Each structure stands twice: as structure tokens, then as C-alpha cells.
Structure 1
Amino acid sequence: MPRRARLLLPAVPLHITQRGHNRQPCFHLDDDYRAYLYCMRKNVELMDISVHAYVLMTNHVHLLISFEQPDTVGDFMKALAQHHTQYLNERLKRTGTVWEGRFKSCPVPTEKYLIICQQYVELNPVRAAMVNSVAQYPWSSYRENAGLRHDELVRPHQLYLDFGSTVQTRAEYYRGLFNNTDDRLFDDIRKATAADAIPGLPPPLRGRPRKQ
């Protein structure tokens, strides 16, 4: 059965998930996370991609990004997977794939879902019972968006910038949003990403696959 064409809309943020092959761990040591983030920083500059939120879990990643050219998305994820696979195989003295061959994604309608999607991404460690508080997890964008630590990888979306006129005001407002989250909207995002669809809408019909 042919793959469903990936839905890519320029200037519309994209929520991406990619899992380890057979759900195997992709990160073992702190240096493994640092190596992945280093590759992200290098490639967002080369490809003019903006990372609004991210989380690196033990065996998968979530990214919320904006891009200008659709072709850059596949190139970006390919570069991350290849670089991290080479790094990890060399460190562990092994061969073989680390990541699943195809990442999952969904466009994120800005007004209703963008900030909800940021929260969904950053709350993953809490939902997985890895930490008690979202601020405790070191491998996510939360501390930057919440004003707790500078992270040069993160480029805030305009909707986030509209939270206030100063960094402190925006960060305080953002932290407050985590006191009242909507699990129904989180579920919309989870289902849409799994189906390469748009949150709140049915999956698109299967069609001719787009090369990635």
C-alpha cells in the first residue's frame, strides 16, 4: 500500500515525532542528547527552520517547527537521523539503524493549537512519569519558553511573542498556562500526528506519495 502523501503547508508550523527503530533507546548518556541538539542547531541555521518547542525522550523525539520551503523538512529530519546514527554507532561500536525510516507529522493551525502543541510536546516527560514537574526535565524547550534558562535553539513563534512586551511578561504568562491544560486538545494533536492530518479534522484520503 502506498504511503499517504505528507501534508506540508509553508509557514504553518509542523509537529513532528520520530521514534527509535523497534522503539529502541536513542539516548543513553547526557552526551547523546547533547549531540542531537548540536546537530539540530547546526541544521536549523543552514535550512532556515525555526524550532518553537522540542523534547528528547529516551526512545523518541517531538519537534514543533516552522519552515519556509517544504523540501527542507525531509532534509532536516534526514540530517538529524543520519548524524545521530553515525554518532551513536561509533560511540557504542555497533552498526545498524537507530531511527524509524519515516517520521510522523501534522500541520498545526496557529490560533487554536500552536501553544497547546508546545505544551503537549514539553509535558511528555511528565506524562511518562519521568519527572514530577515539567521544569525538572533538562532535554526540552520548556525552560527557555518559561524564562528559566536561555536556549539558543528555540525561536519563539509570533503567537508566543504576543503574550507580552517583555521576556519576563511572556515567560510568566506561559508558565501560567500549564496550570490549566486541556487533555481533549492534546488528544487531537496526538491523533493528528499519528495520521499525518490536521488537528480537529479527519485524516486526508490516501493519494500519491510525495517524495521526502
Structure 2
Amino acid sequence: MPRLPRLELPGIPLHVTQRGVNRCAIFLDDDDRHHYRRVLREAARRHAVAIHAFVLMDNHVHLLLSANRSGDISQTLRRAGQTYVQSFNQRHGRVGTLWQGRFKSCLVDSDAYVLRVIRYIELNPVRAAMVERPEDFRWSSVHTHLDRARDPLIVPHPVYQALGSDPASRAVAYHAWLDAPIDAGEVARIRAYLTQEKALGEPRFQAMVEKALNRPVALRPRGRPRAELPAGGAGG
């Protein structure tokens, strides 16, 4: 059965993760991370793709991106991924694939979920027990959002920009957002939509995406449907 096209819509952010094959490391040192950033930035500029958030973990990356044309994000990541693997293999004396299949992605409702996904991305090193605070991890967009750096890779999303009237006020508001308690189901929900490659958002947003793409975009129930019991029966 042919694989369905990826969910992409012009102007709608896409949360992306790409992992190393068999969970192997995709970055062995800072030079690797610097080079990945370079090829990603070049590919994004070529295809007019905006990168709103990122984190470069040891064996995977998370990105939040948007584009004005469907397909441009896929082209950007394909170009950047191929270029990076070639240089990685040459530098480290290896051959073969580096990525674990095609990247995973889900559309993100800008109104309700963009800030949650940015926080999810930038808290990855904390959840992995690599650092105590997200700003302690070097390879993340958190430094731009906290107004501690001007990263040329990042185009701040309009929802982030609406947090304040200037960089300092936005940084204060975002810092409070990073430190705020997170609902127990939020991380699981973001992961589930990314795993199933659906549209993360409110019902109205999902209905809009379904109409635009003529495909179901809500989560599928886990496991097999339960069989109906005969009349008067009881579960075992």
C-alpha cells in the first residue's frame, strides 16, 4: 500500500523529529552540530522555510517550521539531511544511512499549541536529565526566546512575538511559561500526535485540516476495537 503524503499546509507550523538509525548518535561532537545547523539554515533559506524552534539532542533533532508552500519543508529537510549524512560519513569514516527512515511530523494549531510545542522542544534536554534547566543546554532555540542570543537560524513565530512589545518583555513572559507547571497529559499528547503524524490542535483546527486535505487527522484509538458482548454476557 503506497504511503500517504505528509500532512503539510501553507503557513501551518510543522513539528518535526528525526532520529538516528537504531537510535545511534547523529552528532559526535560540536563540529557535527555546527555543520548540521549550517546545512539546515542554507536549505531553509533556499526553500523559504522559517525555523521557529529547535533542539539538537545526541541521537535526534526536534524542529518547529513553517512555509508558504506545501512540500517546501519536506524538500528542506531532505536536502539538509542528505548533505549532512554525506559529510558526517566522510568525517567519521563510515558508510550507509544515518537517519531512521523518513522524519516524523505533525501539524500544529498556532492559536492553542505553538507555545506548548516550543516549550516541549526546548525542555527535551531537561526530560533527558542532561541539564537541570533548558538554558543550560547550548544547542537549542531557548537562548533566542530568552533574549540571550540572536540566532540567525531562528525566525520567531508570531505567537511568541505577541508575548510582549519588545524582546525583553517577551523573554520575561516566555521564561515564566518555561517554568510554569505542565499538565500531566501535555507531553504525552504532543508525542502521540507526532508519532501518528496527525494534526495537533483544537477540534475546529482539526476540522479545517481534514476539509483541506480530505484525510482524517485526529488520533487513532490505541489497540484493537473491543468486541461487543452478547446480551446478558459479562467480561472475562
Pairwise same-fold verdict (TM > 0.5):
yes
What's the CA shift string for 1:1-43, capped at 9, x where partnerless?
Answer: 4323321111110000111111111001100000000111111
Cα 1:120–1:183, aligned 2, differ >3 Å: closer, same or farther? farther
Provide runs of 4+ in structure 1 moved above 6 Å: none
Equivalence map 1:1-212=2 (5 Å): 1-180=1-180, 181-199=182-200, 202-203=218-219
Q: Which moved more, 1:125-134 or 1:192-201?
A: 192-201
User: Does the CA contact (< 8 Å) of 1:191 and 1:199 recur in 2?
Assistant: no
User: Does the CA contact (< 8 Å) of 2:52 and 2:154 recur in 1?
Assistant: yes
User: Does the CA contact (< 8 Å) of 2:192 and 2:219 recur in 1?
Assistant: no
Q: What is the identity percentage for the equivalent residue pairs of Structure 1 and Structure 2?
A: 38
SS at match of 2:199: coil
**Amino acid in the other structure paired with 2:190:** I
Partner of 2:230: none
The CA RMSD over aligned residues, in Å, is 1.4
The one of the two structures with greater contact order (alpha-carbon pairs below 8 A, sep at least 6) is 1
Q: TM-score, normalised by structure 1?
A: 0.92
Q: Post-superposition shift, 1:158?
A: 0.8
CA distance in 2, matches of 1:121, 1:183: 16
CA distance in 2, matches of 1:143, 1:14: 21
Partner of 2:214: none
User: Which runs of 5 or more structure 1 residues have no equivalent in the other structure?
Assistant: 205-212
User: Does the CA contact (< 8 Å) of 1:10 and 1:70 recur in 2?
Assistant: yes
What's the CA shift string for 1:98-144, capped at 9, x where partnerless?
Answer: 11231100000011100000000010010000111100101110011
User: Does the CA contact (< 8 Å) of 1:106 and 1:198 recur in 2?
Assistant: yes
SS at match of 2:165: coil
**Amino acid in the other structure paired with 1:46:** R
User: Does the CA contact (< 8 Å) of 2:19 and 2:100 recur in 1?
Assistant: yes
Q: Which moved more, 1:4-13 or 1:141-150?
A: 4-13
Aligned pairs, how many?
204
**Amino acid in the other structure paired with 2:129:** A
Q: Post-superposition shift, 1:178?
A: 1.2
Higher Cα Rg, which structure: 2
